Structure formats: C-alpha cells, structure tokens
Structure 1
C-alpha cells in the first residue's frame, strides 16, 4: 500500500521498479492509485472453500509519455474460465451497434470482417453476417475490424494494438469499444479496477498509441455500456478524415485531468470514502431491522466488498443469473455466497444491493416485472444511493 505520508505517483527511496509502459514501452511510468492486495476478480471458489484466497497487488500506473493508465507489475493470477451470462443489455447493444456502424458506413454491408473476441461476450459477428458481411480468414486482412472490450484483457496493449492495425485492410475501418477512463474517474468506478483488465484507456492515450502503428482516430461515440464506454473508429493515417467528436472528448478528458498523476491520485481517497459510505449504509439498514441481499456476482464485486469491509454479517448472500456461479462465493474477505435469482425472490429482502450497477435498470425491471414486493434498490457508486423502481 502507499505509505501514509506518500502521495500517489511519488516514489520513496528504494521503491524503484523495473517496469515499462504496456502501451509504448516507455520506462517513465509512475504509480497513481493503490487498491492494495486483492483477489483475482474472476476467481469464484466454491462456497465451502474456507480461504484465505490468494491476493496480488492492484495498482494503477500512468505513463508520462503516452498517458496510458494501466496495471502495474502483477504476478500471475488464478486462471478460471469466465462464468458470467451475457446480459440483455449487452445483447441489445451488439445489435444496435451494428445497425449504427452499417448505417453510417453502408459500403461495409458486404465487406470482410474480423472480430477480436472478448471474455465479456457481446459479439457482433452474427449481426454482421446477417447484413451480408463475410468473416475474414485466419490470415486475411479485413475491411472491418472489431474489438469490443477485448484488448484490455491482453497484458501488452501496444503489441495488441499493432496486431489489430495489421489486420486492417487498406481503406478499412477499425472499431474499438472500451470502458472509458473518464467516467471511471469522475464516477468513482473504482471497482472496475481489477486483475485481468490491464489498461484503463482514455481517447488521448489511444490516439497517442495508434499513431505508433500508423493509425489515427476518425470519430468517437459515447455509449452507456459498463458505466460509460467509447466506441472509437480508426483508420490508417492516409485514409482518415477526423471529425469534431474527437476533439470534444479529448477536451473533456483534459478538463478532468485524467492524464495528470496528481489528479488521478485523488481517485484513491474517493474510493476509500465511497467504500466507507457503503459499509455505513448497510450498518444503518441493519440497525433499522431491514434485510439486505445482493443482486449480481460480477468481477467488480470482490474489490467493492473487500474495500467496504462487507461480509455475510451485512450481506448474507447475493444472486446471479449465471448457473456456473451458483454454489460459489465472492472471493476475498467477504465470503458472500452466490445463489440463484429465485432465492432472492423467495427471501423478499427490504433492500437489494445491486452489485452489477452498470445494468441496474435491467435488473430492477426484471425484479419488478410482476409488481415486485416493495424492495428498495441500492446502487453503491459513486456513493450509495437508492434507485427508483
């Protein structure tokens, strides 16, 4: 952890670490946010596993050259296949995104397409094939290259971006969607910092790194996925015609200071504050005699519950749609078991803590479709607050 008298981004004598930027390989990288040692986000042990679970350092570093925010040096983590079920929100987003892209670029209706997959799901290929696109072969360049929340799962962001540039045919379009660093920062979405997500990307950083591989940003669209994402269109430098949307987003990023190590460091105290607030809110409900149960067992839950010091005393269990998670538990100190959604409906808690807060509307609609039972819905970030039915 960062020493009490040490500001994030400042190194004490003896703190030097041999670490190069995952984007541009610059050695000029500094730590800015330290979340402490945390369990692997996608490791859901069986409910009977006593723990303690393995932990690794979890910290954000900033490259002073390309401005990429990224995980620092991290040891290997427990490997486990993703167990999540793709949300209705994600499926609808994939369909709508293809309509938007082909509507704006009708020449791509019968083009070759290559998609870099993501553990999150959300593939566009079925929709693109239905529109007449042909999936490119293993070694073939494509007119349309898609990466939807995939690249951040690869440790070397720069090398992975180079691979995507190499897949793009002359005159082609590369579409990259990723969780945007700006809403993470201003929305205090600290629970989205997790092992396995190696980069936390701003448009400025992507623009800087794209230039190293002969690419430039043409346009950008803000989308609601995962609490705030960007859909960025890139082309080879000789083909690009940038529009005003690019400068608008970069100006917003600069105004928030998300390329400034001191500003970024303020996320650490904001995270501790929100974590304490969530703990206090659950204690308040408990003191008032109200039962609180959770909805969702996302990869962001371990960090949120661990920092908030929430255990089964305050949250007896959570539920999830994914059958593969049933009978398991959230990793870390909380030990909160994961059960089927039907168990929540039977228990009829006074308060539902929505751990998958990025799809809160979908969850509330699901639980209220038959009238519900009068539960309150608690969203943990940026500060704990109730969401209306």
Structure 2
C-alpha cells in the first residue's frame, strides 16, 4: 500500500501527507443513523477505512465526509454515569489544588459530563474566552474531524499551571481485543498515547501522567499541561512501551486487524447459525453505534437475529441500518420473549446488562458476547453451579 497520492488529503492530527491505508472494511452505513423499522432501504453507505500517519502515528478515518447528521437518540448508561462521578473524586483527591477552580468542558455525544460533580465541589464554569485551571475532554475530541486543530483549542483554553484531562478509547485494546466494531463514521481518530504525545507537542503540551480506564472496552485518562509546567511520571513510559510492543504504530501490524475482523465476523455468523440449527432463540440487547458494522460484516439479518432491544425510547420503532434490517424494540419485549440466547451488542457494558436482566432471577438465558471472538458470559446462577 502506498501513501495517499492526493496532496489535498492530509493527516487529521499533524497535517502530514505521509498517510497510508491500513484497514478497509468497505462501504458501511452511518453508525448513528437508525431509520424507521418500516423503511425498506437500501440505506446510504460511505467508505470506512483506517489510515496511519507515518509522521505523528495517528490512526484515523480516511478521506470520507459523512453526509447525515447524527441524531442524539442514545441514553447514557449507568456505567458511564458512575464513571464520571468516580473520576471527579479521583482527580480532586490527587490534585487538591483544583478544588473550586475554574473549569471548562468540551462535551461529548457519549455523555459522561463531569460538570455537575465539579460544581458540587465548588468549581465555576469558565466564561467566554476565559482560560480554565481544569479543562476536560471525555470522549469528545474523536467526534471532531480535525484532531490537531481541536487539540489546539483545548490547549488554548488551559490557564498557565492548569491541567487538561483527556479520556479516550485507546487504540491498544482496540487492536489487541479485535474491537473492530468501534471503527465507525463520526469517530475520526483512533488514538494511541504515542500519537497524542506527538500531536500535543505541536501545541505546547506535554503528557504528565496516564491512567487506565475500563470505559468502552479500554480507555486512557491522560493528564497534560503546558510543556513549561509539566513533570512527566513513569506511567507515561509504561503505556508507551506497551504500545511499542504491540506494534500499533506499524502499518503491517495494524493491517492484521482487517483479517482478524473478518474472522471474528464469520465466527459470529457461524455461532448464531449453530444456535438456530439447534432450535434456540437468539435476540439482541443494545442498538449501539457499534452494531451496524458488526452485523453488516457478520452477514447477520433478521433470520438469525429477529430483533434487538435498547433502553433508549428514541430508538424504539427503528432498526439497525444496513443490510441486517434488525428492528429495535423496548427491553420489556426481550423479557417477555425469554430467548435462549441474548446477544450483547453493547458488549462494553455487558456486566451492567446481565445484572439488569438477572435482577429478578432471569429465565436461564445464555449471554453471548461477540468480540474478540464469540463467547458466553457466566451469570451468578451459572457460577454457583
């Protein structure tokens, strides 16, 4: 594979033209486009591919511009709400000088806002153009097409001596965990710590420390300061070493994700077919933005998955986009149907979902998680056997 020949296409992080294709999953439906269930389609599709910048190492969507605006239909999970509260407590415990500081938050379509918890601790929201002692971006920046320009905005908001906290889904677990369904239109960047370090340096920022977070299948919470104020600790090198060992800045290594995705997609189709042949009913839980790519690549239609359910009322009466045509219904319909197998499409909060469905004792369902390979989860009842 060769670098992009069109000189107008540049890295979304550092503007280099030295960008190379590493993964191509073909034309895919827009992740957050959920048409009415009676819409016969076909749904619009756009190319979906990952490119690696050989200069800053940012992995990013290729030269595509999605044509449909994302409609905010999702409901924030209990896991996400609890994570926001715990994160604020952790940051204020470890950085007590930030108690009551001026804050600014760059929002995210995923939710997870820290502001109410910071207000409760005495913080004040920065005024227009006012710099803040604490600047927050929790899963927000990847929704902006130009990663480098967006990072500069965050650097510009940061007061001297202040702390920028950025949490994002980490490229490392995406790669080693075969989380290919997180590749989607609207998520423009797939970020490693190395790439963030390289792009941050262009805007006068240095990574001071990093922590692991379990959100979305594996995230990083990264603390940055203006370079003159930063004192990096050992946690930074630990993550950089892990990334280096996995080869996630190597185009050949990254390219192996393509075959891993195809293999896991085929395995999911085979697993659902096996249950169908055995006379077992399979229904889904969740209608996340991850589902269209997963089900499309797996060639799963209503023959194998008659419907899925979701907590978000705005998704009821709609369907997963693409060829699968799987309708989305209220959770009560899943409970009433009592399927033999529940396919957990929102696999990153599988524990929350199993606990919710098993709260009243459940009905003996098997919970199937699709990635990194299809596998079953235990329940308290099964574990007690």
Please, what TM-score do these two structures have when normalized by structure 1? 0.96
Q: Aligned equivalents of 2:223 and 2:204: distance in 1?
A: 14
> For residues 85-142 of structure 1, what are the alpha-carbon distances to aligned partners after superposition, in whole Å with 9 as ceiling and x for unaligned?
0000000000000000000000101100000000000000000000011111121000
User: Which residue of 2 is the match for residue 44 of structure 1?
Assistant: 34
User: Which residue of 2 is the match for residue 4 of structure 1?
Assistant: none
User: Which residue of 2 is the match for residue 118 of structure 1?
Assistant: 108
User: Gapped runs of 5+ residues in structure 2?
Assistant: 380-385
Within a 5 Å distance, the mapping from 1:231-250 to structure 2 comes to 231-250=221-240
Q: Aligned equivalents of 2:69 and 2:57: distance in 1?
A: 29
Q: Aligned equivalents of 1:285 and 1:138: distance in 2?
A: 57
User: Which residue of 1 is the match for residue 5 of structure 2?
Assistant: 16
User: Which residue of 1 is the match for residue 163 of structure 2?
Assistant: 173
Q: Aligned equivalents of 1:302 and 1:138: distance in 2?
A: 39
User: Which residue of 2 is the match for residue 319 of structure 1?
Assistant: 309
Deviation at 1:11, TM superposition (A): 3.4
Q: Aligned equivalents of 1:169 and 1:35: distance in 2?
A: 42
User: Gapped runs of 5+ residues in structure 1?
Assistant: 1-9
User: Which residue of 2 is the match for residue 211 of structure 1?
Assistant: 201
User: Which residue of 1 is the match for residue 287 of structure 2?
Assistant: 297
Q: Aligned equivalents of 1:248 and 1:80: distance in 2?
A: 36
Q: Aligned equivalents of 1:123 and 1:314: distance in 2?
A: 37
Deviation at 1:233, TM superposition (A): 0.1
Q: Aligned equivalents of 1:84 and 1:241: distance in 2?
A: 39
The answer as to whether partners of 2:181 and 2:290 remain within 8 angstroms in 1 is: yes
In structure 2, the residue corresponding to 1:51 is in which secondary structure? coil
In structure 1, the residue corresponding to 2:172 is in which secondary structure? helix
User: Which residue of 1 is the match for residue 243 of structure 2?
Assistant: 253
- Does residue 130 of structure 1 match 2:120? yes
User: Which residue of 1 is the match for residue 264 of structure 2?
Assistant: 274
Deviation at 1:17, TM superposition (A): 3.4
Deviation at 1:76, TM superposition (A): 3.0
User: Which residue of 2 is the match for residue 33 of structure 1?
Assistant: 23
> For residues 154-187 of structure 1, what are the alpha-carbon distances to aligned partners after superposition, in whole Å with 9 as ceiling and x for unaligned?
0000000000000000000000000000000000
- Does residue 140 of structure 1 match 2:130? yes
- Does residue 57 of structure 1 match 2:54? no
Deviation at 1:16, TM superposition (A): 2.9
Deviation at 1:80, TM superposition (A): 3.0
Q: Aligned equivalents of 1:85 and 1:340: distance in 2?
A: 13
User: Which residue of 1 is the match for residue 65 of structure 2?
Assistant: 75
In structure 2, the residue corresponding to 1:281 is in which secondary structure? helix
RMSD: 0.8
In structure 2, the residue corresponding to 1:383 is in which secondary structure? coil
> For residues 18-59 of structure 1, what are the alpha-carbon distances to aligned partners after superposition, in whole Å with 9 as ceiling and x for unaligned?
410000000000000001000000000000100010000000
Q: Aligned equivalents of 2:128 and 2:39: distance in 1?
A: 42
The answer as to whether partners of 2:66 and 2:185 remain within 8 angstroms in 1 is: no
Q: Structure 1 segments of 4 or more deviating over 4 A?
A: none
User: Which residue of 2 is the match for residue 352 of structure 1?
Assistant: 342
In structure 2, the residue corresponding to 1:140 is in which secondary structure? coil
Within a 5 Å distance, the mapping from 1:191-230 to structure 2 comes to 191-230=181-220
- Does residue 98 of structure 1 match 2:79? no
Deviation at 1:373, TM superposition (A): 0.0
Count of aligned positions: 378
